Amino acid sequence: MQDIDAIDRTILSILSQEARIPMKSLAGRIGLSRSATTERVTRLEKAGVIRGYRADIGQLEEGTIQAFLLVTLKRTPSIGVLDRLAGFSTVRKVSSVSGQLDLVVEVEVGSINALNELRNEVATMDNVEDLTTSIVLRRDIERS
Amino acid sequence: MQDIDAIDRTILSILSQEARIPMKSLAGRIGLSRSATTERVTRLEKAGVIRGYRADIGQLEEGTIQAFLLVTLKRTPSIGVLDRLAGFSTVRKVSSVSGQLDLVVEVEVGSINALNELRNEVATMDNVEDLTTSIVLRRDIERS
DNA sequence: GATGCATCCGGCAATATGCCGGTTGCACCG
DNA sequence: CGGTGCAACCGGCATATTGCCGGATGCATC
C-alpha cells in the first residue's frame, strides 16, 4: 500500500488538471467504485503525495513585481521556514534545490515596499543564513 | 462586473489554498449566500481569472529533472544568449533579474546527462561569465 | 417612474458525500 | 489446512451539496 500504482498515477494526473471533479466522476473514469476511489485519494492526501488543491489564478494586475529570493539555510531540512513561506500569499513557488543554495522562492508583490517587507521577514527567520533578492526585470522566455 | 472587488479577492485567496472547498462553506466564510458565491466564482472562471483547479502534487514527475541555472553575464544586455537559450526546448523560463545575477533560467530535462550537456553549452557561451546550477529536489510550494 | 441590468436571496429536486457493514483475495502461521 | 489478519474493494442509506429556478433589491438611464 506504500506504492503508488498505475491507478494512483491516473488519479494524480486527473486531479492535477481538474481538482474539483466529483469523486463519483473520478471513480467512473478510472473504473473503480466511488468508495474505493475516495479511499485512494484520502490515502494519497494523508501520505503527502497530494499536498492540497489550488485554484489556478491568472495574472491579477499589470503593476506586479516578480522576484526570486535565493535562500541559504543554516541547516536543512528547513523546519518551519516552508510553513512560514506558505503563509505569504505573495509566495508563488518554492523549490528545494541542491548546491550552495537551499531554496529558490518565487514571489509576486504589488510594490517594492512589499518586496522589502517580505525580504526582511524571510531574512530574519531563524533558520535563514543568507538571502539574495533578484527582481525580475523582464520575462524573456516562458513556456506553458 | 469587470472589476475584481474585495470579495472576489477573498474568494481567490481561499480557493488558491483550498480549491475543493464546497461552495456553501466558501459562501459562509465570505458572508454571502451560496448562490451569489457560486455566481461570482463562475464569473471568475469564465473571465479567465480562475484558469482551473489543480491538485498540488508533492513529488515531481518521475523521470524529469528540473533545475535553475543562475547566470552572470560579462556584459549586459545579453546579446545572443537569449536567442541561444530559446533554441533549447528544455528551457522553460528565462528571467532577466537585477543584482549580482543577470539571468535565472528554469530548465526541465530528462536526465542528469542532459542537464550537464545543457549546462556546458550555456557555460561556454561567449557572454556568460559565471553559471551556477541548482537541481530542484522537491517542489515545496506551487501556486498557479 | 418605467426599463434594463447586476447582484443578491431562498427553495426544491437531483446529485454527491460521509460513513458504515459486508465480501473477496492473499499472505502468514500454528 | 483451516484460521486469522489485513488491504482493497463494493454497495446502500442518511446527510450535505449542487444545479437551477423564480423573485427581491439597488442603481443608473432615459
pLDDT score, position B104:
95
Q: What is the mean pLDDT of residues A71-89?
A: 83
Same domain, B33 and B79: no
CB B42 within 7 Å, strand C: no
Check residue A83 and give its pLDDT: 85
Residues with Cβ within 8 Å of residue B103, at least 6 apart in sequence: A140, B69, B70, B71, B73, B78, B81, B85, B94, B95, B96, B97
Indicate if B76 and B131 belong to the same structural domain.
yes
Rounded average pLDDT over A93-108: 90
Mean pLDDT over residues A28-48, rounded? 90
Task: Determine the Cα–Cα distance for residues A46 and B89; give it in Å rounded to an integer.
Answer: 36
Q: Is residue B140 part of a domain?
A: no
How many independent structural domains does chain A possess?
2
Query: What CATH number does residue B101 fall under?
Result: 3.30.70.920
CB B68 within 8 A of CB A93: no
Size of interface A-B (CB pairs under 8 A): 192
Residue A53 within any structural domain of the chain = no
CATH no. for residue A26?
A: 1.10.10
What does the alpha-carbon distance between residue A26 and residue A38 come to, in Å, rounded to a whole number? 9
CA distance A106 to B95: 11
Rounded to 10°, the helix B6-15/B23-30 angle is: 140
pLDDT tens-digit map of A1-15 = 457 788 888 888 889
A80 and A126 share one domain = yes
Nucleotide of closest approach to A25 (CA, C1'):
C16
What is the CATH number for B18? 1.10.10.10
Judge whether B104 lies within some domain: yes
Q: Distance in angstroms, CA of B1 to C1' of C3?
A: 20
| Res A2: pLDDT | 55
Chain A residue with the nearest C-alpha to that of B18: A53
Residue B76 and residue B26 share a domain: no
B91 shares its domain with B42: no
Q: Provide, as residue numbers in chain A, all residues whose Cβ is less than 8 Å from the Cβ of B20.
A: 19-20, 53
Report d(CA A35, CA A3) in Å as an integer.
19
Structural domain span for residue B41: 6-46
Residue B55 CB lies within 7 Å of the nucleic strand C: no
**B1 part of a folded domain:** no
Question: Per-residue pLDDT tens for A106-123?
Answer: 998 888 888 888 999 999
Please tell me which residue, B58 or A53, carries the higher pLDDT value: A53
Q: Is the CB of A104 under 7 A from strand C?
A: no
**Co-location of B34 and B96 in the same domain:** no
As a whole number of angstroms, the distance between CA A55 and CA A58 comes to 9
Tens-level pLDDT at each residue, chain B (144 residues) = 457 788 888 888 889 889 999 999 999 999 999 999 999 999 988 888 888 898 888 655 556 788 999 999 987 676 788 889 988 888 988 998 988 899 999 998 878 888 888 999 999 998 899 999 998 887 777 765
Q: CA A79 to CA B91: how far, in whole Å?
A: 31
Measure, in angstroms, how far nucleotide C12 C1' is from residue B4 CA: 32
Which CA distances in Å does A131 have to A122, B78, B90?
8, 25, 28
